[in-house]
Amino acid sequence: MQNQLNSILIEGTTVTVGPMFDNAVDTSIIFFIESIWRQTAHQFEIHATGKLSERMAESLESGQGVRVVGSIR
């Protein structure tokens, strides 16, 4: 279960989608999203692992709108 004090929701548009790769534990993918808040653009680096990374590699494209719910590390 996710700790509610360390939860974040970001909505934006994908800017860059990296290739899927294997790390020491599982498969991973890194992608960047841009979100505009108060007329300022912010870019976020997002890491997904496991089966989620496989689904992201199959379906995620640059310019696509996304909503990310996760935790800050």
User: Can you list the domains of the chain with their CATH numbers?
Assistant: 4-71 (2.40.50.140)
The predicted model scores a pTM of 0.76
Q: What residues contact residue 14 under an 8 Å CB cut-off, 6+ apart?
A: 31, 32, 33, 60, 61, 62, 63, 64, 65, 66
CA dist 73 and 64 (Å) reads 24
Each residue's pLDDT tens digit, 23-67: 777 889 999 999 988 889 999 999 988 999 899 889 999 999 999
* Residue pointed to by tokens 């994908």: 14
**Cα 41 to Cα 22, 35, 59, distances in angstroms:** 31, 6, 24
CA dist 8 and 19 (Å) reads 24
